[in-house]
Amino acid sequence: MEKVRLSLQVSDELNEALDLMADETGTTKSDVLRRALVLLKSAHDARKEGFRVGFSRDAGKLDREIIGL
Contacts of 19 (CB under 8 A, 6+ apart): 29
String of DSSP letters for 47-64: HHTT---EE-SBTTB-SE
One-letter amino acid identity for 52?
R
Q: What's the rounded Cα separation, in Å, for the pair 33 and 35? A: 5
Q: What is the pLDDT of residue 47?
A: 93
Q: What is the pLDDT of residue 29?
A: 97
Q: What is the pLDDT of residue 16?
A: 98
Q: What's the rounded Cα separation, in Å, for the pair 27 and 62? A: 30
Q: What is the pLDDT of residue 36?
A: 96
Q: What is the pLDDT of residue 1?
A: 85
Consecutive 10-residue runs of the chain (69 residues): their mean pLDDT?
Answer: 93 98 98 96 94 90 88
Q: What is the pLDDT of residue 59?
A: 85
